Every structure is written in structure tokens, then in C-alpha cells.
Amino acid sequence: QLQFVESGGGLVQPGGSLRLSCAASGFTLDYAAIGWFRQAPGKEREGISCISSSGGSTNYADSVKGRFTISRDNAKNTVYLQMNSLKPEDTAVYYCAKDPYRYYCSGYVLYQPHYWGQGTQVNVSS
């Protein structure tokens, strides 16, 4: 089955940090833009960050800019999201996706996201 496997979520206090990982299963990340998304309870899924195929271009939603960092290791077929200074409003299920048709992003989101995984839950609470 072609999908991402997200991991690294958990419970963290406000101001804390987490590093999420997103491993591709059944396909490679080469030559494709990758995006991180999240879905909070009662809200629609939203894109928060995107990285180009080479890793040379990264973009972020205003809500996470300056706190989150997206990166990728194509040799390991894995994308990461370093999350610092976490806030309660960051509580959500986090997902990644790939645009198999493009090596570039549409700002901080993908044009055509594919290969959704099950996500990893992040809870920010004291």
C-alpha cells in the first residue's frame, strides 16, 4: 500500500518541542514536493508547511512560521517537522503528503496531495 507513516507525536507542555517523522512506504520521495498538514478537532485539515524536492525551498503558514522547521532526507525516504515553542492551538493530528506530479510547492501547501497516512496525534497541554 502506498502511504506515509507518521510518527513522533505525543503529549507535550506549552513551550515544549517535538520532532515528527514521516516515512514513505512503497514509493520514494525523489523529485516530489512534500507537505505537512494538520487537523484539529472539529476543523478541516489544513496545510502548514511544504518543502521542494531538493529541500532548497521551504514555506510555512503564518501560524507556525518561526516555530516549525520542515526538512527531508531523500536517502532515508523521510521528511521531518521540528516543532518548537508549541502552543495549545497546535493540538491536532499531523499528516504528510506528496505531490507526485511536481517538485515544487504552491506556497506552503501542495497542489495535489497524495498518499495520506494515518497521522500522528500531537497534544499540547499543561
User: How does DSSP classify residue 109?
Assistant: B
So what's the pLDDT on residue 97? 95
pLDDT grade for 16, boundaries at 50, 70 and 90: very high
pLDDT at 3 over 90: no
pLDDT in tens, 41-59: 999 999 999 999 999 999 9
pLDDT grade for 2, boundaries at 50, 70 and 90: confident
For the CA atoms of 52, 58, 64, 66, the dihedral, rounded to the nearest 10 degrees, stands at: 160
pLDDT in tens, 72-85: 999 999 999 999 99
Under 8 Å between Cβ of 117 and 24? no
Distances (CA, A) of 47 to 34, 40, 107: 11, 12, 10
So what's the pLDDT on residue 30? 83
So what's the pLDDT on residue 117? 87
So what's the pLDDT on residue 25? 87
Under 8 Å between Cβ of 12 and 122? yes
pLDDT at 27 over 90: no
